[in-house]
Amino acid sequence: MKNMKFEDLFNLFYFFSPWLFLKIITLFLLGIYVCFALILVRQISLMTKTVYGQFETFLKIVSKILLITAVGVLIISFVYL
Amino acid sequence: MPDLYVAKPKKEVFEKLDLPPLSNPLSSFLFKPSDVRFENQEKDEIIILLLRRHWITNLGWIIASFLGLFIPILFFFFFPIFELPQKYKILLFIGWYLLLIAFIFEKFLVWFFNVAIITNKRVLDIDFYGLLYKEISDAQLEEIQDVTQTQIGAIRTVFNFGNVTIQTAGERQMIEFEDIPHPDKVVKILQDLR
């Protein structure tokens, strides 16, 4: 940054693409969602250890489907956006 | 030598209480659920009541989720000038519904796993606040000093739900079961068990 010339700064803004910026933001938000889905899977495993006997398998499957979907959307967005 | 006093076997009060059917696992009031167990349950410990918040307390988020289903459609209908490339529009749709699913799932989980349990030995209050905070408090039945029932407001009276506060002599002095159905029956059962 110290040796950055005016032309470099100009080029940076000239070639700046708002769509690239939008893509980065989208991927970042989807990354947060994947983290949330991971926490959900872990949390359901803890919850079903606390009280168990009802819907354990169903809830675990739903949480894993959500995680797989989130990862899938993240990969598709990375490739196609 | 004849017995001076022989206590008569205590007839279970539950039979007189006209308790609701037990088959629905999504019920807020499960009497003697045979298929449910909990962490640190002792071998000879039997669950007498498993309680959740009354289903009507979920109405707010259920209505919000239902309305949320139509928000993307309304958004693109009323804001056609908001021109995005097709792929971003599709992603916005998918993103919104992913958020909605997460919201519904989280609300359901918090309701489903926030339970109050009364066993033949103790009372337990298991609370999950959001997804990252868990609190379990329990008290032995002998430690229970006072049980109070509170039912405030028209909705609680109409749908017959309220709070039951249990004062104990233990380390944790108060255990509260919030918005549980049939609080009168819960108090009666606790009185009988003590």
Convert the pLDDT of each residue in B131-180 to its tens digit. 678 888 888 988 888 899 999 999 999 999 999 999 988 777 889 999 99
Q: Is the pLDDT of residue B7 over 80?
A: no
Q: How far is A51 from chain B (nearest CA, A)?
A: 4
Find tokens 């997460």 and name the residue.
Answer: B102
User: CB within 8 A of B183, min separation 6: which ones?
Assistant: B149, B150, B151, B160, B161, B162, B163, B164, B177
For residue B110, give the nearest of B67, B151, B58 by alpha carbon: B58
Q: How many beta carbons lie within 10 A of that of residue B148, not counting itself?
A: 13
Which helix (H) or strand (E) covers residue B128, if one does?
Answer: strand B122-129
* pLDDT tens by residue, chain A, 81 residues: 556 677 776 676 666 777 888 889 999 999 999 999 999 999 999 889 888 887 889 999 999 999 999 999 999 999 987
- B67-109 per-position pLDDT tens digit: 999 998 888 777 765 677 888 888 888 999 999 999 999 999 9
Q: How many CA atoms lie within 13 A of B140 on its CB side?
A: 6
Are B36 and A51 a contacting pair at CB < 8 A? Answer: yes
What residues pair up with B180 in beta bridges, in sequence order? B162
Q: Which of chain B's residues have a Cβ under 8 Å away from the Cβ of A57? A: none
Tell me the ipTM for this assembly: 0.80
Residue B73 confidence (pLDDT): 84
Q: Is the minimum CB–CB distance between B56 and chain A shorter than 8 Å? A: no
Could you read off the pLDDT of B128-142 as tens digits, one per residue?
Answer: 887 678 888 888 988
Q: State the pLDDT at residue A13.
A: 67
Q: Taking CB atoms and an 8 Å cutoff, what residues of chain B touch A77?
A: 91
